[in-house]
Amino acid sequence: MSPCPVAIVLAAVLALGPVLIEPSTARANSACAEPGAAPQRRAAEEVGMDEAALAAAMDFGIGAKAHAIQVYRHGCLIADHAPTGDLPMPLFSASKGVTAVAVGRAVTLGHFGLDDPIGRFFPTADAAHARITVRQVLTQTTGLHFSWPADVASIATSTVDRVLAAPIDYEPGTTFQYAQAVLGLLPRIIEITTGLDYQEFVRRELMGPLGIPRDHWVWLRDRDTTTAVAGGLAMRPADLARIARLVLQRGEWAGNQLIDADYLRQATTPTQANGGYGFLLWLNAGETFRGVNVPVPALYEHRLFPGLPHDTIAFSGALGQLAVVIPSRDLVIIRLGVPATIDPNNLTGFLTGTSNPDNRMLFHRIVAAVENQEPLEDPDLPPDPIHRTGATPEERALLLDPHTTAAILLGTGAYGGCDIAVCHGRPLPADIFGLALDVGNQLAAALPGER
């Protein structure tokens, strides 16, 4: 297999323009059925959208460094800039939304409930940790001590052991914290209750029924073999669109109710702790929301996507990996790529997809192309708060978390059996080789032309 250098791929991507679907002779007024091998295509005007406005929106998005944009209405693909084609692209934290859907499948099948305490699955958890619920993990309101070093090190250590030993700073269910490592509990819960490896469960119960073959996606694991659900998934844009469409259709696919509709209703309802967050999904429902800022999420006094319909839902990942679902417009929008600009005074806007003004404007322009609708609200896109040049001593202490950092480096406390140097008797080089082999095998199957 000859690898395809990232630089060559990106250069080719940026050189190509959008593809708008030409009108067919016979107009199809009905929605497109769930796709087989490929989605059905329609012209924008066939599904009630202004073709010129949509083309201008696509041009704007490509100019803002989107490597893939796909727009679907009524289930039909109406605009497509995806020159990466069959190449899986990293989703980063948009992986979280896919995880929420997978959890929904397990809940629908009756393997566990949203309000089950995690002590049911992890009998070694102490009483304080045992009462944390599955719902609180999904809403990022566990109350566990936020540790940036621990989150960063989670791929190289034992995620579950660390989470069950973390101090509890807040009453569970009351405070939003955008954490990573704690989400490692979710694949383990699915494995414990189903008897299947998490990725096998996802293949069998989610990807398979949606028509997404196993060789279309790549998912990383940590050193303890826990799937990195917080940000380790890579998928093809069109396959991500299938998962987004499943959410749009309230869990129904080809006549089968894969995800209970009430689960998705709850998943897309914000909590009191964060008006812009549901079950690992970002929402436009609240008039305010808390962001991904560390060490303390900032409160923003506006909706997540100003000007967009309030029912907008987003799978969101770093640098602008986004799947946006708008039920009231029957729209799914995929945007994958990098930011066009970097503002050193606004790193949150750069690093996150939802806070980037270019992405907000792209979605606003696409939705505005829908004909015969009430005018959209003024986008009035406010910039994120400008971050101070320096942090306070308290903030620096929270970010550096020296106690946890020392435990990670020295292999003490929760890291006694699995630290960066040695995990369960395996040295780091051996685990790196194993990870590279696993990812290499997945990539070899997923890259086009290798089958």
Question: What pLDDT is stored for residue 39 in this prediction?
Answer: 94
Domain residue ranges in the chain? 89-445
How do residues 396-406 score in pLDDT, each as one tens digit?
Answer: 677 677 777 77
Rounded Cα distance between 324 and 96, Å, is 14
- Indicate if the alpha-carbon torsion angle 356, 361, 364, 370 is positive or negative: negative
Question: What pLDDT is stored for residue 395 in this prediction?
Answer: 66
Confidence of residue 414 (pLDDT cuts 50, 70, 90): low
Rounded Cα distance between 94 and 282, Å, is 10
State phi, psi for 107 to the nearest 5 degrees.
-65, -40
Asked if the model's pLDDT at residue 23 lies above 50, the reply is: no
How do residues 297-324 score in pLDDT, each as one tens digit?
Answer: 889 999 999 999 999 999 999 999 999 9
Average pLDDT over residues 191-195: 98
Question: What pLDDT is stored for residue 427 in this prediction?
Answer: 62
Question: What pLDDT is stored for residue 2 in this prediction?
Answer: 42
Q: What angle is formed at CA 138 by the lines to CA 134 and CA 140, rounded to 5 degrees?
A: 115
Amino acid symbol at 174: T
Assign 380 to helix, strand or coil.
coil
Question: What pLDDT is stored for residue 8 in this prediction?
Answer: 37
How do residues 56-89 score in pLDDT, each as one tens digit?
Answer: 999 999 999 999 999 999 999 999 998 877 789 9
Compute the mean pLDDT over every residue in the chain, rounded to the nearest whole number. 85
How do residues 216-231 score in pLDDT, each as one tens digit?
Answer: 999 999 878 899 999 9
- Cα–Cα distances in angstroms (integers) from residue 100 to residues 78, 125, 134, 203, 309, in the given order: 27, 23, 11, 15, 22
Rounded Cα distance between 353 and 369, Å, is 22
Rounded Cα distance between 16 and 18, Å, is 7
Question: What pLDDT is stored for residue 4 in this prediction?
Answer: 43
Rounded Cα distance between 38 and 211, Å, is 10
Burial of 101 (0-12, 13-18, 19+ CB in 10 A): buried
- Cα–Cα distances in angstroms (integers) from residue 225 to residues 47, 206, 316, in the given order: 45, 20, 24
Asked if the model's pLDDT at residue 439 lies above 80, the reply is: no
- How many other CB atoms are found less than 10 A from the CB of residue 46? 20
User: How many residues are there in the chain?
Assistant: 451
- Cα–Cα distances in angstroms (integers) from residue 424 to residues 162, 175, 391, 406, in the given order: 14, 34, 37, 19
Amino acid symbol at 355: S
Asked if the model's pLDDT at residue 431 lies above 80, the reply is: no
Helix 94-108 to helix 185-194 angle (10° resolution) is 30
Question: What pLDDT is stored for residue 377 in this prediction?
Answer: 87
Confidence of residue 344 (pLDDT cuts 50, 70, 90): confident
Which residues, listed in sequence order, are joined to residue 221 by a DSSP beta bridge?
A: 227
Is-cis flag, bond preceding 149, omega within 30? no
How do residues 87-142 score in pLDDT, each as one tens digit?
Answer: 899 999 999 999 999 999 999 999 999 999 999 999 999 999 999 999 999 999 99
Question: What pLDDT is stored for residue 420 in this prediction?
Answer: 64
Q: Cβ contacts of residue 237 below 8 Å, gap of 6+?
A: 68, 70, 82, 84, 89, 334, 336
Are 216 and 194 in contact, with CB atoms under 8 Å apart? no
CATH number belonging to domain 89-445: 3.40.710.10
The alpha carbons of the chain give a radius of gyration, in whole angstroms, of: 22
**Top-confidence range, 96-100, 149-153, 414-418:** 96-100
Q: Cβ contacts of residue 91 below 8 Å, gap of 6+?
A: 98, 231, 233, 234, 235, 240, 315, 317, 321, 336
Confidence of residue 16 (pLDDT cuts 50, 70, 90): very low
Question: What pLDDT is stored for residue 379 in this prediction?
Answer: 82
Asked if the model's pLDDT at residue 266 lies above 50, the reply is: yes
Asked if the model's pLDDT at residue 209 lies above 60, the reply is: yes
Question: What pLDDT is stored for residue 415 in this prediction?
Answer: 63
Share of the chain above pLDDT 70, in %: 76
Joined together, the tokens standing for residue 30 give: 């009905």
Burial of 403 (0-12, 13-18, 19+ CB in 10 A): middle
